[in-house]
Amino acid sequence: DAKTTQPPSMDCAEGRAANLPCNHSTISGNEYVYWYRQIHSQGPQYIIHGLKNNETNEMASLIITEDRKSSTLILPHATLRDTAVYYCIVRVPHSGSARQLTFGSGTQLTVLP
């Protein structure tokens, strides 16, 4: 799986958009970008994933640059409940002998009132 780089922490004002960056300059052509988050004391939660086109669901939007070397997760209207560690994971779906997710250190997003 390609290595990812994320800022260790970010703050965002409640109600504003939270833009979380992820660099994955060594991504290969068949690797997808997945985002998970972990709210304090809870299990990780899937947010969104994409290959090269921008994706949107009820939780967030994912913007992937044309060269696919970086991406941004956007929470359009952050709430206090969005405070969590956000993990960017690059992987080929259905790959790996154990199909494991490889988590890095992520970005601690703090939404401020």
Partner 1 sequence: DTAVSQTPKYLVTQMGNDKSIKCEQNLGHDTMYWYKQDSKKFLKIMFSYNNKELIINETVPNRFSPKSPDKAHLNLHINSLELGDSAVYFCASSDWGGRTDTQYFGPGTRLTVL
**Binding residues for partner 1, per CB under 8 A?**
34, 38, 41-46, 49, 85, 93-94, 97-103, 105
Phi first, then psi: what are they for 12, rounded to 5°? -150, 140
In the complex with partner 1, the residue whose CB is nearer, 49 or 69, is 49
Distance CA 15, CA 26 (A): 34
- Report residue 26 CA to chain centroid gap: 16
Shortest reach from residue 16's CB to partner 1, in Å: 26
In the complex with partner 1, the residue whose CB is nearer, 14 or 103, is 103
Q: What is the DSSP letter of 54?
A: -
In the complex with partner 1, the residue whose CB is nearer, 65 or 102, is 102
- Report residue 67 CA to chain centroid gap: 17
Shortest reach from residue 23's CB to partner 1, in Å: 19
